[in-house]
Amino acid sequence: MNPGFRSWQAGVAHADDIEQIKNLVESVGGDLERLQPEQFIVARDSEQRIIGCVRLKPYPGFYELASLAVASEWRASGVGREVINSILKSHQGPVYLICEDQVIEFFRRFGFGLIPMSQILPGLESKIARYAAEAGHINVMRRD
């Protein structure tokens, strides 16, 4: 396994991927609520192991970019960028995400901008409260 060259490929998740997705998302402390394989784009290495994933989680009237996870040995290799680009490519409409300060600039590359907490949509409030309690501070971003 050599992250120095692209020996992986992004694509849609399948029903039998859910256990690998769960393990990867859990390893980064991500959102494990109601995992559905059809919501995910995954990156697989040459041995078909899932090395990265992200999902568009549906809410009434909007989506949340959630459960972004990349295996530690594959970070900074383009896996995260590729799965995000792949999942956003075919989506129209508002997408929200919740993130910590150190990744704001990363998400700006995909067209996300910070929004004030006063613009939080119903459905995200409890999740924001939970992650803010863990992280101490949390941000909400939106892409239209």
Q: pLDDT digit string (tens) for 82-101? A: 999 999 998 888 999 999 89
Residue 5 has pLDDT above 70, yes or no: no
In one-letter notation, the amino acid at residue 126 is S
Mean of pLDDT values over 44-57: 95
Query: Domain-by-domain residue ranges, the chain?
Result: 8-143
Closest CA to 109 of 89, 81, 90: 81
21-34: pLDDT as tens digits: 999 999 998 889 99
Residue 39 has pLDDT above 90, yes or no: yes
Q: What is the pLDDT of residues 101-141, one digit of tens each?
A: 999 999 999 999 999 988 888 888 888 888 777 777 889 99
Q: What CATH code would you report for 8-143?
A: 3.40.630.30
Please provide the average confidence, as pLDDT, over all residues in the chain.
90
Nearest to residue 75, comparing CAs of 123, 28, 17, 117? 28
